[in-house]
Structure 1
């Protein structure tokens, strides 16, 4: 699988008005920036891709899990209305503030991709960290990427 394939799926996020701003730190061995861009990282096999993006829209800081859960349910509903399937959202704790982790499937050119997307408040502005891989990709990068998004990305 080429690095362009997972990259294509991340275009879904681009359609939401995303523009790269800051550099993502990916602590996984074998991952490198795509074309020197520290906002996009690909594993050494080209099977998984991570992208950090900052949106120009406001995004609240959730102080409680209940606030985050309420927003997660609204996000799940909005994502489900788009060209994505199997949408699941959940609040995740990030150093005392709550963020939202979404997971969904997306199909493009006959290939289904699994997306994990972390929604963070960066000084009141929406920032996302998105990971993608083909649906049945068996590379070790898949679990490493999902664990990074679930527990470490911030």
Structure 2
């Protein structure tokens, strides 16, 4: 009888693990600061899935912002963080677009403080949001980028 009860409990436990929902996708911010350019990527680790990247040659102060899975855009973007804004040219690429901004520009300083940046082209807006837990990675990226 005890063996049957133990077997029933083990089967119930096994069914619980089999029917548990799959974990949600784990998007995170990762700073790559080894050899080559600095990259701060909003990604699912160990996959090729990206939402956005910030890339900079160390000491250059020039940041290339790439937004993936963005609607096709061309022209001038308005980049905003808080009450500060800047205009930048959009460079369309396959399935994404890129723009450049300076790491020492006031809009980037506001981004460092808040973790929120908005890139608008016409009526289309694409937010870049870095949560408080990952703001230190953004600040480290900016420190290395500006040299």
Higher relative contact order (CA 8 A, sep 6+): 1
- Decide which structure has the larger Cα Rg and report it: 2
